[in-house]
Amino acid sequence: MRPAIDTTRPSPARMYDYFLGGKENYEVDRQAAQIVLEAAPEAKDVALVNRRFLVNAVRYATSRGIDQFLDVGSGLPTMQNVHEVAQAEIPGARTVYIDNDPSVLEHAEALIFGDPNTGYGEADLMTPAEIITHPVTQRLIDFSEPVAVMLVAALHFVPDSSDPAGIVKALMEQVPSGSMFIMSHVTTDAISPVVWERIQRQQLAVPLHLRPGVDIRRFFDGLDLIEPPGCVFLEEWAPGAVLPIDETAPLKLRCGVAVKP
């Protein structure tokens, strides 16, 4: 039986939908999102830039011939979803969305209805083995061919005690050489002291685990990070280049794309 949607607790997926201007959220999500915005008003703009990175990274992966995408912690469907971007470049590209939020399932199923190359699996980021063995993953992903594994704005919800680097390693061990890892993560680098103090003071309903760039860079250990741009701020990322950005922005995410050797 499908678990009921809990409308009494905020959902990271629905909060992200709110930041992006979506309507698939509840009052509890909007209240939690407003607390985030009080600490960091630019969080809404960051969400939009993060979506742009996702789109550009998917297009880059397809340019290298990758036509399989495993989007872990995918969140609610919104504009320019992974499967839409990938299929615009490679018709027939296959995508599996993974999330543990029941509210995502209903909307995801409606979005992908009638698309045999796209599926949604309900599984937890904390249990990578269940993601790989999920029937939807096994049906759509051919693990003998390169896969783009995506953890976009997901790992900053994972505390150090849950070994986020181990999660990345476990997922990447299951994909062959030539596969790609696409990631973004909120960072303490260049964060405004005022914003940092506000984030620490606020009791966020969905805790964020901000990390310095040196720690985020370690998620790419054992992989060939695409350089340039390397592990850079979201606004800087472009294939083969580092774009100029506003250094004074008070809150940033770091991101990167890497290839499994």
Encoded tokens for 179: 């596969």
Exposure string over 118-147, b if 16+ CB within 10 A, otherwise e: bbbbbbebeebebbbebebbeebbeeeebb
Neighbouring CB atoms inside 10 A of 93's CB total 23
| pLDDT at residue 204, as a whole number | 57
Write down the pLDDT at residue 108: 77
> Is the CB of residue 148 less than 8 Å from the CB of residue 61?
yes
Identify which has the larger pLDDT, 28 or 42: 28
Other Cβ atoms closer than 10 A to 169: 15
Burial label for 213, CB within 10 Å (0-12, 13-18, 19+), is middle
Check pLDDT > 80 for residue 5: no
Least confident segment among 72-76, 132-136, 154-158, 252-256: 72-76
Which pLDDT score, from 0 to 100, does residue 33 have?
Answer: 79
Among 41-45, 79-83, 168-172, the minimum mean pLDDT is found in 41-45
Residue 4 pLDDT exceeds 70 = no
- Region 18-44: mean pLDDT is 78
What pLDDT sits at residue 208?
83
Query: Hey, what domains does the chain have and what are their CATH numbers?
Result: 44-192+206-259 (3.40.50.150)
Is the predicted pLDDT of residue 187 greater than 70, yes or no?
Answer: yes
Cβ neighbours of residue 200 under 8 Å, at least 6 residues apart? none
Q: What is the rounded average pLDDT for all residues in the chain?
A: 89
The more confident residue out of 233 and 26 is 233
Torsion of CA 177, 60, 131, 208, to 10 degrees: 120
Of 106, 80, 85, the C-alpha closest to 14 is 106
Q: What is the pLDDT of residue 55?
A: 96
DSSP structural state of residue 231: S
Average pLDDT over residues 40-56: 85
**123-181: pLDDT as tens digits:** 999 999 999 999 999 999 999 999 999 999 999 999 999 999 999 999 999 999 999 99
Residues ≥6 apart with Cβ < 8 Å to 10: 28, 29, 31, 32, 33, 205, 206
Q: pTM for this one?
A: 0.88
Residue pair 55/87 in contact (Cβ under 8 Å)? The answer is no
Task: Say if CB 117 and CB 92 are below 8 A apart.
Answer: yes
CA distance 207 to 12: 10
pLDDT in tens, 97-131: 999 887 777 777 877 889 999 999 999 999 999 99
DSSP code string of 94-138? EEEEEES-HHHHHHHHHHHTT-TTEEEEE--TT-HHHHHHSHHHH
